[in-house]
Every structure is written in C-alpha cells, then in structure tokens.
A and B are shown apart, each in its own frame.
Chain A
Amino acid sequence: MRYAEPATVEEGVALLASTQNARCLAGGATLVAMMNARHLAPELLISLHRMAELSILTETPEGLWLGAMLPHRALADEPRLRGAMEVIRSAASQLAHPAIRNMGTIGGSLCLADPSTELPVALVAASAHAEIAGPEGRRIIPVESLLVDRFQTSLRHGELVTRIWVPRGGPGAVGHHLRFSRVASDYPTVSISLVLALEGGTCRQARVAVGSCGPVPLHVEAADQRLVGSALDAPALAEAGQLLARAATPRDDVRGTAEYRRLLIPRLLGRAVAQARERLHV
C-alpha cells in the first residue's frame, strides 16, 4: 500500500483519478476497521487531514458550510448549528460512542453511506447539499442524490466531498434527531430526523427522514405534506407515520425485525415531534 498526504483538494483529486484502487482516509473509524479485518486493501491511501479547507466551517446569512473533515464531536458542540440546522448537532451528539465521535467525520460518514447510521438521515432532513470536487471541477448536489444505495454513493471516479451546505430553514424552524437503539452507542433500530416550523399551532414546514429502514434515508414527500397545515395532532402524526411505514423497506437483523421496525416508525415519529415541539415551546 502507498500513502499520500496531499495539502490541497486538487492534488488529492489528481491522485484519486490516476489510481484504480485508491481510498480517501478521513477519520479512519470505518476504513481502518475494514483494513484490520482484511475486507479492504487499497493500493493507495490518500489522507485528507492536511487539506486545510476541509476543516473549515463558514457561516452565511442563509446557512452553514461544514467542512467534510469536521469530526462529529465538533458538530455536537457547535452552537451555530441551531434552529432547523440543529438536527445535525442532535444526530452528531448521539451517534456511536465518544471515541468514535472524536474520530469520525461528517464527510466520512456521508461517503460511507451506511443506511444504519445517523448523519446521512439528519442531512436529508436538513435538505443538505454536498460540494464535490473532481477532475472536471466542483459541483453541488443534494445529499439525497449522493446517497444511492447501501454503502454506495453517486461519486464518480476521482471525486471527493469537500464540504456540506446546511440551509438555515424558515423562521422559527427547529431540527431534532431521535434514535431508538437497544443500548446507547449501538446502531439504531430506527432513527428519525426532522425539521419542523410552526406558526401559531399550525405546522408550516415539515421534512422527515427515517434511518435503518431501507438502503438510503427514507424520505416521503406525501408524509411531509400530511403534516404541513395540520396541528401535528394524533391523526396527522398517525397517517404520516403510516405513509412512512408503508414506504419503508427495512431488513430483519439482530437489532429488530422488519415488521418491528415498521411498527416503530409511527410511534417514534410522534415522540420525535413531541420532543421538537418542546424545544419550540409550543
């Protein structure tokens, strides 16, 4: 195995594009575990940690740009992730366990595209976009179109994610993440990320994403629409929950059967909305 630590994204992209079996090393939490287990043996490992721009957080009036190498722990402690964007902070503070949160990065988690972990779900709920650098320059795409299948992204050969755009959301919006797991630090059986905005007692904006229930974070436009205009009362939550449960394609595994996961979705949606409303004090 060869190892490189390029100082710029452009050098990294050139290396990535010129090698067949090259891998980017972000926090290492998953890649090194797979190398230890002999599941992976990259020909070239390109460490991203000397690319200064990947560790920058930029605030604009419309939202935040999060550098791909920001570790989960930094996001969990980031006070600028508030309002709708708080869904990212909430997910980052709950995922895995403290040492993994010190190591794992938002870009690494997104590019791993693990259907059972938190940040991809939170990023979909937040309507986040990813900036991608490649041999032809940079492009920005919705996170939903980056995540295409289990552990699979739409990244092309030679491309890497540089930063992630999280929009601030509408006035009064709040973001929240709820995970249901057998024990803290285990992968969730089901997780729910959502962004809500209320006006008076009426929901004006809703975007819900469900994790561990399909190959990519589950987002159903009709479920969001069932909540918008409602008072987030029991019938609206039950129907939105059913729309999500019917669209889900969960697997049976040690953390729960597919049937159990489908049953959990509406229950957890109600709980997640109640917790988000507590934050809004309405």
Chain B
Amino acid sequence: MSDRLSFSLQINGEEHALAVAPERTLLEVLREELRATGTRRGCDQGSCGACMVLVDGEPRLSCLSLAVTLRGRAITTIEGVETAGALHPVQRALIQHGAVQCGFCMSGIVVTAKALLDHNPSPTLDEIRQALGSNVCRCSGYAKVIEAIASLSKVRPHE
C-alpha cells in the first residue's frame, strides 16, 4: 500500500478529513473509511452503476473515481438524498410503483434519477431510458423503474 495522503472531501454538504492511499477510490473511501454503505460495490469496472454518486450534480461512477482527485468537489451520495428524514420523491415513486426488488441497484438508480429530474423536470420516456443507461438492474426488467420516474415528470405546457 502506498503512503497515505491527507485531504478532505465534501460529502453531502459536510467536510470529511481523510488520510488514504492515492489509489483508493471514492467508493472504497465511502464504504470503508466513512462507513457510508448505501453506495454499493458492484462490478468495480464502471459497467453496472451500483456505485453511482453525484459530483457537482452529475452522475459519476465512484468505483472509477480516485478519491484524491475529487477535492473541492460537491459529492452527493444516497445518504444525502433524503431531507429531514423524509424520502426523496424518486424514492417514494419507486416504492409506490413496486420498482424496488432486491434493492441492490437502487442507490445508483435513485441518484441518477435525481440528477435527471434536477436538470430536466419534464423528461420523456426516452430521455429517462437514456439517462438510466449507466444503471444495470437484474430483477426489475426496468419497466416499473421507468414508470416510477415518469410519474414525477412535470407535464409540458403543450402536451
């Protein structure tokens, strides 16, 4: 293991002082140093999206992001999505539509869908499918997931 580097990361609005080796990924730091285990470890290759977090509001694969490179960036994990103990509308919609099955992929899907709706409150079904292109789920078949997110899409004025 390499020498540790000391730096801090801003995660869900809080600064966290760290001393970790440069090759440690954000995923490892979240789960092993900070015990924030809501972000899942899936493939470690950027193929499944289970480890998705937001960096400055954009979906990013924490398994492929070295923690040290994210100094000064605003990181949002699944733990930062709830407000005052209330589920995020995306989380509520997924439950209401029966989209959550084993749940392993859900942290990644929730943060990806949150980012989509933050940027585009009225996504079309196709835009939802495109935005979720980085997230693999092996039990839902995606139909319920897409329905749930579409239920939050604001109606466009001319539609």
How many A-B contacts are there with CB distance less than 8 Å? 77
List of A residues within 8 angstroms of B40 by Cβ? none
Considering the complex, give the chain B residue whose CB is closest to the CB of A99: B134
Say yes or no: B134 contacts A45, CB within 8 Å.
no
Contact count band on B = 20 to 34
Say yes or no: B66 contacts A1, CB within 8 Å.
no
A2 located at the interface, meaning its Cβ lies under 8 Å from any Cβ of chain B in the complex = yes
Q: Chain B contact residues: over half helix, strand or loop, or mixed?
A: mixed
What mask results when residues 1 to 17 of chain B are scored 1 for a CB within 8 Å of chain A, else 0? 01101000000000000
Say yes or no: A99 contacts B52, CB within 8 Å.
yes
A contacts with B, residue count (CB < 8 A): 23
Q: Which of B23, B25, B49, B63 contacts A1 (CB 8 A)?
A: B23
Say yes or no: B134 contacts A32, CB within 8 Å.
no
Determine, out of A33-41, A129-137, A228-236, the stretch whose residues face the partner at the interface. A33-41
Q: Which of B2, B60, B69, B131 contacts A2 (CB 8 A)?
A: B2
Say yes or no: B61 contacts A99, CB within 8 Å.
yes
Say yes or no: A103 contacts B66, CB within 8 Å.
no
Q: Chain A contact residues: over half helix, strand or loop, or mixed?
A: mixed
Say yes or no: B2 contacts A102, CB within 8 Å.
no
B13 to chain A: closest CB distance in Å? 21
Say yes or no: A3 contacts B5, CB within 8 Å.
yes
Say yes or no: A102 contacts B60, CB within 8 Å.
yes
Docked complex Cα distance between A25 and B64 (Å): 11
List of A residues within 8 angstroms of B45 by Cβ? 33, 36-37
List of B residues within 8 angstroms of A36 by Cβ? 25, 44-45, 63-64
B147 located at the interface, meaning its Cβ lies under 8 Å from any Cβ of chain A in the complex = no
Say yes or no: B131 contacts A98, CB within 8 Å.
yes
List of B residues within 8 angstroms of A73 by Cβ? 58
Docked complex Cα distance between A229 and B66 (Å): 52
A22 to chain B: closest CB distance in Å? 13
A186 to chain B: closest CB distance in Å? 10
Say yes or no: B60 contacts A99, CB within 8 Å.
yes
5 tightest A-B CB contacts, nearest first: A3-B22, A99-B134, A97-B133, A97-B134, A1-B2
26 pairs, CB–CB < 8 Å, chain A vs chain B: A1-B2, A1-B21, A2-B2, A2-B22, A25-B66, A25-B69, A28-B65, A28-B66, A29-B64, A33-B44, A33-B46, A36-B25, A37-B44, A45-B22, A47-B69, A49-B69, A73-B58, A97-B133, A98-B112, A99-B46, A99-B49, A99-B61, A100-B61, A102-B58, A103-B65, A184-B130
Other than A28-B64, A28-B65, A102-B59, give 15 A-B pairs with Cβ distance below 8 A.
A1-B2, A3-B2, A28-B66, A29-B61, A36-B25, A37-B44, A45-B22, A47-B69, A73-B58, A97-B134, A98-B134, A99-B60, A99-B61, A100-B61, A103-B46
